[in-house]
Amino acid sequence: MTFRLFIYYCALGGGWAAFLAWGLVRMLPVEQISDPVGRAGLIGGILGLFVAAALGLVDALLNAVGVQQLKRTLLCAAVGFPGGLAGGMAGQGLNEAGFPLVIGWALAGVFIGAAIGAFDVLQAKLSGADLRAPLKKMRNGMFGGLLGGLVGGFPAGLFQNSETLPLSGLAIGLTVLGLCIGLMVALAQVFLKEAWVAVEAGRRAGRQMMLSKDETTIGRAEGCDIGLFGEQGIEKVHARILMKHNRYVLEDAHTPGGTFVNESRVERPTPLNNGDAIRVGTCLLRFGERQKQR
């Protein structure tokens, strides 16, 4: 998946997820809840559950392979529900205190955005790895979610309270909100990404992945972060991209075929620079990195 498609599908997934969330809200007696804070919380929770799951799935399709995709999606949903619940309740509470309703959606967006990075943070935490990169990803997601909630909250409010569309107003409003949150979360992820890898040649040419961990594995094993299945001359774990001293280095996993950076064989951990060509087996990757202070 390319970054362009990632943005497109995040927005679309957010919209669809919010629409489905609306469907569930209609099916359940949510609107009959007399307490507005509880009702807004539950709607926010359902919205968070669906939108976070959708964004998590798209993110997993971009940045993960195999069973990791399912894990990421489920964790996003698990974080999205309480996040949306808390956001909805807090937003409604603030609204009753005189603040605009859009704050509630912005809060829900923040939690949904945070869900995208939750898996990486949890994984890094459990493995005792460096938390900087996963936290950056989470921060980017939260930033995008905040923007999405703010941007989508206004049209959502207009549609939601439409007198002429009592039924579909909420559907359109939530869909617009989910679409905006998805779009902004994806844009934040893409535009604020630190480093990425693009497959330029090979069976998965065109695929792009963000580097959001301090160790990214390349290989044909399912557990690899950059899975290159079906390629010739690639070991199960072929190489690693490591974050060391605030820069990315490439390390070959003692493979017979070797790993090459700009056609030079990697004998020891080799610092990567923006635009470097990484060749593993018959596959050619291009490393990209945003300029940063070192």
Partner 1 sequence: MSHTCTKCSRVNPDEAVYCYFDGIPLNGLGRAGGPVAVGAQVFPNPFVFPSGRTCRSFDELGLACQEEWPAARDLLQQGFLGSFFGGLGRPDLARAADEAKRFPDPDRGLDQLLAKLPTDVLEEPSVRAQPQSVSLGTVSFGENHQFNLHLENKGMRLAYGTISVENCPWLRLGDAPGAVQKLFQFFHETTIPVHIVGKQLRASKEPLEGKLAIECNGGEPVTVLVRAEVPVKSFPGASLLAGARSPRQVAERARDKAKEAAVLFENGEVAAWYQSNGWTYPVQGPSASGLGAVQQFFEALGLTSSPRVQLKDKEVTFRGNVRDSNLRHTLEVFTEDKKPIYASAVSDQPWLEVGRVKLKGRSARLTLTVPSVPNRPGETLQARVKIQSNGNQKFVVPVTLYIAHNLDFTSPDPPPAPLPVPAVTEDVPELLPVSEAAGEVVPAPVPPPAPVPPPVPVPVLVSPSRRSQARPNWAHAVPAALLALALLVVVIVDLAGGGGKPDEEPGEPLLEGVEAFRKEIENSKPTLGVEFTGDARFGLTLLFQSDPTNSKDKKKLTFARDGSTNNTIVRIDNYDYYFGKVITGRNTWVTKPPLKEVILDRAWEVSMRFGEHNVVVTQHLTLVPSQSGDLDTCLVYYTLKNESRTDHAVALRVMLDTYIGANDGVPFTVPGKKGFLDKRETFNDKQIPDFIEAVEKPEDPKNPGTTARLGLKGVRPPGVTLDDPARLVVCRYPENPQANWEWEFLPMDAGPSKDSCVVIYWGEQRLNRNGLRHVGFTYGLGTLEGSYDAAKAVALSVPGTAYAEAPFYVTAYVYGGAKGQKVRLSLPEGLELLASEAAEKDVEETAPRTAVFWKVKAVRPGTLDGIVAEWEKKKSKPAKVVVKKRSIFG
- Residue among 98, 126, 167, 256 that touches partner 1 (CB under 8 A): 167
- Closest distance to partner 1 from the beta carbon of 28 (Å): 10
Note whether 16 binds partner 1 by CB under 8 A. Answer: yes
Rounded distance, CA 225 to CA 223, Å? 6
- Closest distance to partner 1 from the beta carbon of 67 (Å): 23
Pick out residues in 242-271 that bind partner 1 (CB under 8 A).
Answer: 262-264
* Token duo for residue 153: 């909250």
Binding mask 60-99 for partner 1 (x = CB under 8 A): ----------------------------------------
Note whether 165 binds partner 1 by CB under 8 A. Answer: yes
Note whether 213 binds partner 1 by CB under 8 A. Answer: no
- Residue among 56, 83, 149, 288 that touches partner 1 (CB under 8 A): 288
How many other CB atoms are there within 10 angstroms of residue 18's CB atom?
Answer: 29
Part of the chain binding partner 1 (CB under 8 A), chosen from 134-142, 197-205, 210-218, 246-254: 197-205
Note whether 231 binds partner 1 by CB under 8 A. Answer: yes
Buried b (16+ CB within 10 A) or exposed e, 92-112: bbebeeeeebbbbbbbbbbbb
Q: Tell the residue number behind the tokens 């535009």, with chain if given.
A: 191
230: closest CA among 199, 272, 187, 256? 199
- Closest distance to partner 1 from the beta carbon of 118 (Å): 25
End-to-end CA distance of the chain: 30
Rounded distance, CA 98 to CA 95, Å? 5
Backbone angles phi, psi at 262, to 5 degrees: 50, 40
Rounded distance, CA 21 to CA 270, Å? 47
* Token duo for residue 28: 């359940």
Residues of this chain that interact with partner 1 (CB under 8 A) are: 2-5, 8, 12, 15-16, 19, 29, 31-36, 39, 161, 163-169, 171-172, 175, 196, 198, 200-208, 231-232, 262-264, 274-277, 279, 282-284, 286, 288-289
